[in-house]
Amino acid sequence: MVCQKLKPKGRTQMKSFKLILTTVAISMAMFSADAEEKKEKAAAKTAKAAKERTVKGTVMCGKCVLKKTDACQAALEVKRKSKDGKEVTRVVLLKNDAVTKAFHKRICSGDKIAVAVTGKFEGKGKKRLLVASKIADAPKKGKGKATDKKKKA
């Protein structure tokens, strides 16, 4: 009779154990899937940061005009609107390479030139640099396809 009383208890304990084991297995699977998603998002952010961008602003000498660097270096002053709607001016230093050194002759005398810089950002925070692959004079406002259509009409 003792054996008969233990069998029903053993079966319910086994069912409870299987239920707990299944719950733990499902939780582990969900946790690992969530970790993989986080890794994918981090990789996407890194890829986005590595993409080449075109930034428009005013380029000037970081030493002669802005007094931010010890040696002559090109700096791009960019104006953006903040979340509050106020205009914010940010300065991004350009990495000294062949492209910026060739352009630097035009700005070292204290000139400020409106340009469009194409390149990749490197670094984070205050040590963030823009590695330029191309620097072109910014197109003048008012000249474009929209004004050409008005002239033809």
pLDDT digits (tens, 9 = 90+) for 38-84: 777 776 666 655 678 888 888 888 888 888 888 888 888 888 888 88
- The pLDDT score that the predictor gives to residue 142 is 55
Same-domain status, 63 and 115 = yes
Containing domain of residue 92, as a range? Answer: 51-137
Confidence of residue 11 (pLDDT cuts 50, 70, 90): low
**Do residues 45 and 110 share a domain?**
no
In a domain, 153, yes or no: no
What pTM value is reported for the model?
A: 0.55
Shared domain check, 24 and 12:
yes
Cα 61 to Cα 73: distance, rounded to the nearest angstrom: 6
CA dihedral 41, 44, 46, 48 (to 10 degrees): -140
Task: Return the CATH number at 111.
Answer: 2.40.50
Domain match, 76 and 66 both: yes
Q: Is residue 83 part of a domain?
A: yes
Residues 61 and 125 in one domain: yes
Q: Is-contact 69 62, C-beta < 8 A?
A: yes
